[in-house]
Amino acid sequence: MKNLDWRARLRRIAYRVSPAATTTLLSMRSRRLSHRLVRRWGLPRLTDLLVQRDGLVVSGGPFRGLRLPAGARREHLAPFLLGTYESELHPWLEEVRRKDFRQIIDIGAKFGYYALGLARWFPDAESLAFDTDPWARRLIRVAARENGLASVRACGYLTPSTLRARLRPPAFIFSDCEGFEAQLFPAIDPGELATSWLLIELHETAAPGVERMLIAHFAPTHEVEVVDRAERVPEERLVERLGAADAELAVKEFRGDQRWLLA
């Protein structure tokens, strides 16, 4: 326990001294751990099976036809390739698709699945993909070129002041920033986002109380809804193709309880 307390204090000091550099190092460390687990669990084999048939092109879901970067094969890529990733959000994303946004902002963009997919829907909108991991930003640039999406810009560390300065409403903001949402959005006057839509992945473990905080923050200007994680059941044709065990693994996202805020 003392060792954990010491590490927590050291991390807080590092954040105060250099938040951007500290966040970059931690995100790189987290990504490397994730990649080790993907290898340990044998998940690249599932990616290989799917790529053999369809290549690195998303075969279903809202972003069908999107080409993913080869470097992303270090991830558990099967749910992305199948188009089942975060399928709880698909009905709401279809509502987003029917709107007219001037700007797309993806915070915690990883290899660009949402930033690129949304840019295909809104080719005339500016698309800003923020991620603190240089690996992620490289893949976003590669994938933007491969998909012919010149509007996509890979960006680094995001602060509330940067978001305010670069915001061009009406915008669609997609956020998955591992608890930083508790610091980022309360620092923005909700009136500045009144004509924008937001989809925020909530991280209660990293930021206890964030759901309640953000609901209260956006309630005066937005209709707020919260979506829960749903269990994944593979389609019968995927079971026939891969077998029951592999099909279940292919759509599994390896996450616990998860909620998203829609505003």
Centroid of chain to Cα 109: 5
- How many percent of the chain have pLDDT more than 90? 88
How many percent of the chain have pLDDT more than 70? 93
- Mean pLDDT over 31-46 rounds to 95
The tokens describing 100, both together, are 């007219």
pLDDT at 3 exceeding the cut of 60: no
Q: Please, what sign has the CA dihedral across residues 35, 206, 132, 9?
A: negative
38 pLDDT exceeds 70?
yes
CATH class name, domain 28-262: alpha beta
Q: How high is the pLDDT of residue 22?
A: 81
Longest dimension (CA), the chain: 54
259-262 and 197-202 strand pairing: antiparallel
More confident residue, 33 or 19: 33
Token digits of residue 212: 């309640």
- For residue range 131-170, what is the model confidence (pLDDT) as tens digits? 999 999 999 999 999 999 999 999 999 999 999 999 999 9
Give the per-residue pLDDT at 256. Answer: 85
Contact between 66 and 112 (Cβ < 8 Å) = no
The answer, yes or no, to whether residue 221 has pLDDT greater than 60, is: yes
Average pLDDT of the residues in 65-72:
98
> Can you tell me which residue has the tokens 């956006």?
218
pLDDT tens across 168-214, in order?
Answer: 999 999 999 999 999 999 999 999 999 999 999 999 999 999 999 99
pLDDT bucket at 20, cuts 50 / 70 / 90: confident
Q: How many Cα neighbours within 13 Å face the side chain of 190?
A: 16
Cα separation, 126 vs 5, whole angstroms: 43
pLDDT interval class at 19 (50, 70, 90): confident
Q: What is the mean pLDDT of residues 210-219?
A: 98
**What are the distances in angstroms from CA 145 to CA 32, 68, 78, 87, 183?**
25, 11, 22, 26, 33
Lowest mean pLDDT among 67-76, 100-109, 248-257: 248-257
Tokens of 151: 């509007």
- For the chain, how big is the Rg over CA atoms in Å? 19
The answer to whether 129 and 197 are in contact (CB under 8 A) is no
Question: Does 4 have pLDDT greater than 60?
Answer: no
Give residue 5's pLDDT band: very low, low, confident or very high (50, 70, 90). Answer: low
User: How do the domains of the chain map onto residue ranges?
Assistant: 28-262
The pLDDT value recorded for residue 85 is: 98
Residue 24: half-sphere exposure toward Cβ, Cα within 13 Å: 11
Q: What is the 3-state secondary structure (H, E, C) of the chain?
A: CHHHHHHHHHHHHHHHHCHHHHHHHHHHHHHHHHHHHHHHCCCHHHHHHHHHHHCCECCCCCCCCCECCHHHHHCCCHHHHHCCCCHHHHHHHHHHHCCCCCEEEEECCCCCHHHHHHHHHCCCCEEEEECCCHHHHHHHHHHHHHCCCCCEEEECCCCHHHHHHHCCCCEEEEECCCCCHHHHHHHCCHHHHCCCEEEEEECCCCCCCHHHHHHHHHCCCCCCEEEECCCCCCCHHHHHHHCHHHHHHHHCCCCCCCEEEEC
pTM for this one? Answer: 0.92
